[in-house]
Amino acid sequence: MRYLFSFLWTVIFHLVTADVVVSDLLVRASGQDIKSGLGPKLSSGSRILLPGDSDFPPASERWQEYAKPTFSAIVEVTNENDISETASPRDIIYANNNSMPFLALGGAHGSITSLEGFQNGIGIRLSKLKNITVSDDGTYATIEGGVTNGEVMRALKAVNKQSATGVCECTGFMGALLGGGHGLLQGHYGMVIDNVIDFRVVMADGSIVNVSDTSDHDYFWALRGAGHNFGIVPSLRYKIYEPDYLQWNYTMMAFSQDKLEAVYEVMNKITARPEHELTNVINYAIWMRSPDIDPNNVLIFFGLIYPIPDDNGTTFTSWFLDLNPLSVQSQIVQYWDLPKLTGNGDDSPICQHGVNNHLRFPIYLDEYNLTATRSAYDLFNNMTAEVTAFKDSMILFEAYSLVAVRLVDWANSGFAWRDTKVLVAPVITYAPDAALDDTAIKFGNRTREILYEGTQGTRWWPVLRVYVNYAFGDETLDQLYGQLGWRTDKLAGIKQKIDPNNRFRWFAPVVR
């Protein structure tokens, strides 16, 4: 369920590489060379892990088994100087000088196929960069690059604060932010990128800079939405707020497939309501198999989350209850309890690493075409029955409030799709099996195509809009970063200035 929320599922934090050709592989340092050459330069508390070390497997494990990167060494850093060339130690400079690609590791949940191109390089693990410090006036926090969403939420809870984050506790905070960042509170505070005051960035040449809207407008613009391409962020300053509500309502209902059209008609009715009625309301759905309820067909699980009191949320809930769901679960909880309640806690199955392939095929929609939705359901229902290895797959439908998101000008950042009302993500999950990969890819792409074809006649047709943090990897630049041309041109120009050798190119690269 972690994909329910923005961030939800979210993505690896950045990636990078030095320019490498096949012959470079022959001159790369061995693991022991890396340890002896780099080790003395690292700060106290840092360490280098090699494939034979007992801690190497958990340090290199990823949530996504398909098309994953591989490492000759993992360097666990303790401060920004461990990843810069401006002060000793200089691990990035070491990687550059030894023809080693390098990849920054946050939550290790990135799943895009471009990561497969990173092989036998140095992983720069940020997991020891955990400090979260609240300013004296309580208006912002300085957050280091190795924290997870759960760690940010818990740190803010301790001082009675909150801000825009993802709900999945185990995913990296910084990685999802760099691609935009949806979340439960975006109706109040905007997207995650909208709350950044400034970034501390290690650039491709290893230098460390502060980047804000005033210090470098274009660089700041690119980092917020396409940031994986432009550096490593060891820390940033981030806006925080007093909580507006103490209690939240969480309601989950299960519907059988014969109610599909009725359920999605009501969902359309909600998304068409005036924006001010939706400030606090998040609605979502999950298609998945639950044999204990229905052994034959995929079920539709529909959820509503809203703070107490909220009359609109109560009204919307009643519309679905009128459809006679198979089951209803409802609880009143604090905001910080929602991750565990929704299956997004640190100890939830969805937070397990090194287990399954998770192939995602996202698409943004403005409304649900009922005919296309039924066709997508039929395909999903049939495939997950015929290919039993896909039985744990799901399709996720996330509808967040856009009130504060739309207060930010759509041209203000590298994130292109501020006006979209619904984020849909088919997630094809199965144990690693190369014999099933082509079938899984065709299955996921066809599901997305059906939903895309249902947008014909809308104001966005024929544009396929894709959330970069969920992207599979075969999408075009226009689909990821905006279709008007100027956006991708601007990103390419900033890239040429900031990273002319394209070292940061492993996650949804803006230059191909």
Cα–Cα distance, 312 to 315 (Å, whole number): 5
Token pair 């996504």 is found at: 64
- pTM here? 0.92
Query: What pLDDT digit, counting tens, does each position of 18-38 carry?
Result: 333 222 333 355 677 778 777
pLDDT at 89: 36
pLDDT at 429: 97
Cα–Cα distance, 166 to 156 (Å, whole number): 13
Phi-psi region of 238 (alpha: psi -120 to 50; beta: other; left: phi over 0): beta
Whole-number Cα distances in Å, 397 to 8, 26, 425: 12, 47, 7
Which sign, positive or negative, has the C-alpha torsion 166, 172, 173, 175? Answer: negative
Using alpha carbons, select from 62, 68, 74, 73 the residue that is nearest to residue 115.
68
Cα–Cα distance, 195 to 192 (Å, whole number): 6
Hey, how many other C-beta atoms are within 10 angstroms of the C-beta on 459?
8
Domains of the chain: 2-125 (3.30.43), 132-243 (3.30.465.10), 247-481 (3.40.462.20)
What are the 10-residue block averages of pLDDT along the chain, 512 residues in total?
A: 36 30 40 78 90 96 96 93 51 63 91 96 94 98 98 98 93 96 96 98 91 98 98 98 95 98 98 92 96 98 95 96 98 92 85 95 98 99 99 96 96 96 97 99 99 90 94 98 94 97 95 94
Q: Are strands 196-202 and 208-212 parallel, antiparallel or unpaired?
A: antiparallel
Helix (H, G, I), strand (E, B) or coil at 66: coil
- Contacts of residue 224, defined as CB under 8 A and 6 or more positions apart, other chains included, come to 178, 180, 193, 194, 196, 413, 414, 415
Query: What pLDDT digit, counting tens, does each position of 497-509 carry?
Result: 999 999 999 999 9
Whole-number Cα distances in Å, 56 to 50, 71, 119, 150: 6, 10, 16, 24
Cα–Cα distance, 412 to 401 (Å, whole number): 19
Chain-centroid distance, C-alpha 337 = 20
Find out whether 172 and 106 touch, Cβ atoms under 8 Å: yes
- Contacts of residue 345, defined as CB under 8 A and 6 or more positions apart, other chains included, come to 150, 169, 339, 351
